[in-house]
């Protein structure tokens, strides 16, 4: 059996859930492949994994995989994930969201899950738009771009998701594009092994809406943009601010230690319990 056949038969709900809903050429399938490979190579059993999503094109991802899965409400995937992690800390909890789901509707949950350092592997697929609802501006849509909700050009500057995660307190922050699929798998694997709140931003492409709105309906052209815009973090350290202005830095951007919320919570429970028993 080839590795690909093994992965398909082990992790996909092939008998019930296909064909999938994603458009031909969408980048989300590449992320799904990288995620499955990273999990397989990390040695987790399927029963150890809880995969949670919110709403949007990315929200359909857990439907197709054979883990413990939840398809939750818009922007609220991290709240479900936090509850699961506190209730059963031994589980490996993974959340997949789109850029709008994570940083607009769920923006407060995102920054506070990072601040609390809840041990969740958070994957944010950033295709710079709301794909499922017709290509509206999201918090990561670049300034000036014409979309279905900004027909004369977007007036808002865009969020740097990794910068936001870093400043909010995430202990691991990484970024890749779907063009760099092997790097993506590697960054996800490192995030899965990190103790604490880890974030992987995945630059992807929505040809159906964002591509057409910005002048291309070719997934290949959009992936060439990813290839040409990305620069590895090691190389970026040698360049100045001006040289990096049009570049997207990829790789592991933050890797640090901090106490995790569920362990602090366990300590608190033990202390309160022993104090109550002493009364």
CB 43 within 8 A of CB 49: no
Q: Which helix (H) or strand (E) holds 226?
A: helix 219-229
From 208, 213, 226, 260, residue interacting with ligand SF4 (rule: CB under 6 A): 208
Task: Name residues contacting ligand SF4, limited to 18-47 (CB under 6 A).
Answer: 22-23, 26, 28
Nearest to 11 by CA among 64, 71, 58, 70: 64
By C-beta, is 27 or 169 nearer to ligand SF4?
27
Q: Find the shortest distance in angstroms from Cβ 210 to ligand SF4.
A: 7
47 vs 67: CA distance, rounded Å: 6
Q: Find the shortest distance in angstroms from Cβ 222 to ligand SF4.
A: 10
The phi, psi pair for 212, rounded to 5°, reads -65, -40
Q: Does 57 engage in binding with ligand SF4 (CB under 6 A)?
A: yes
Q: What is the DSSP-derived secondary structure letter of residue 2?
A: -
Q: Does 49 engage in binding with ligand SF4 (CB under 6 A)?
A: no
Look at strands 68-71 and 92-98 and give their pairing.
unpaired
Number of residues that bind ligand SF4 (CB under 6 A): 12
Kindly write out the interface string for residues 86-125 of this chain, putting x where it contacts ligand SF4 by CB under 6 A and - elsewhere: ----------------------------------------
By C-beta, is 100 or 174 nearer to ligand SF4?
100
Task: Name residues contacting ligand SF4, limited to 121-150 (CB under 6 A).
Answer: 127, 131-132
Starting at the earlier edge strand, list the strands of the sheet with 68-71: 68-71, 49-53, 92-98, 121-126, 198-203, 172-177, 248-255, 230-232
User: CA separation (Å) from 132 to 98, 136, 199, 208, 238?
Assistant: 10, 9, 23, 10, 39
By C-beta, is 120 or 222 nearer to ligand SF4?
222
| Structure tokens given for 224 | 């060439």
From 114, 164, 206, 248, residue interacting with ligand SF4 (rule: CB under 6 A): 206
Q: Find the shortest distance in angstroms from Cβ 143 to ligand SF4.
A: 21
Q: Find the shortest distance in angstroms from Cβ 132 to ligand SF4.
A: 6
Q: Find the shortest distance in angstroms from Cβ 155 to ligand SF4.
A: 23
Q: Does 165 engage in binding with ligand SF4 (CB under 6 A)?
A: no
By C-beta, is 55 or 249 nearer to ligand SF4?
55
From 147, 207, 213, 260, residue interacting with ligand SF4 (rule: CB under 6 A): 207
For residues 1-23, b (16+ Cβ closer than 10 Å) or e, as one string? eeeeeebeeebbeeeeeeeeebb
Residues that bind ligand SF4 (CB under 6 A): 22-23, 26, 28, 57, 127, 131-132, 206-209
């Amino acid at each position: 059996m080839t590795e690909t056949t093994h992965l398909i038969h082990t992790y996909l709900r092939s008998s019930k859930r296909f064909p999938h809903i994603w458009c031909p050429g969408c980048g989300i399938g590449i992320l799904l492949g990288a995620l499955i490979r990273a999990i397989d190579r990390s040695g987790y059993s399927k029963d150890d994994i809880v995969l949670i999503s919110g709403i949007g094109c990315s929200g359909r991802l857990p439907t197709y995989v054979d883990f413990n899965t939840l398809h939750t409400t818009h922007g609220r995937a991290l709240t479900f994930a936090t509850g699961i992690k506190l209730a059963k800390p031994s589980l490996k909890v993974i959340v997949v969201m789109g850029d709008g789901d994570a940083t607009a509707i769920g923006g407060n949950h995102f920054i506070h899950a990072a601040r609390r350092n809840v041990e969740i592997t958070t994957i944010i697929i950033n295709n710079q738009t709301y794909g499922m609802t017709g290509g509206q501006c999201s918090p990561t849509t670049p300034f000036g771009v014409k979309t279905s909700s900004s027909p004369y050009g977007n007036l808002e500057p865009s969020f740097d998701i990794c910068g936001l995660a870093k400043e909010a307190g995430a202990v691991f922050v990484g970024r890749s594009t779907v063009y760099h699929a092997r790097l993506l798998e590697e960054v996800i694997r490192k995030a899965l092994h990190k103790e604490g709140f880890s974030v992987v931003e995945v630059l992807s492409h929505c040809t159906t809406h964002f591509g057409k709105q910005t002048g291309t309906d070719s997934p290949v052209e959009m992936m060439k943009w990813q290839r040409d815009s990305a620069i590895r973090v090691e190389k970026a350290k040698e360049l100045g601010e001006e040289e990096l202005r049009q570049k997207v830095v990829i790789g592991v951007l933050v890797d640090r230690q901090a106490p995790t919320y569920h362990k602090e919570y366990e300590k608190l429970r033990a202390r309160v319990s022993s104090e109550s028993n002493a009364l």
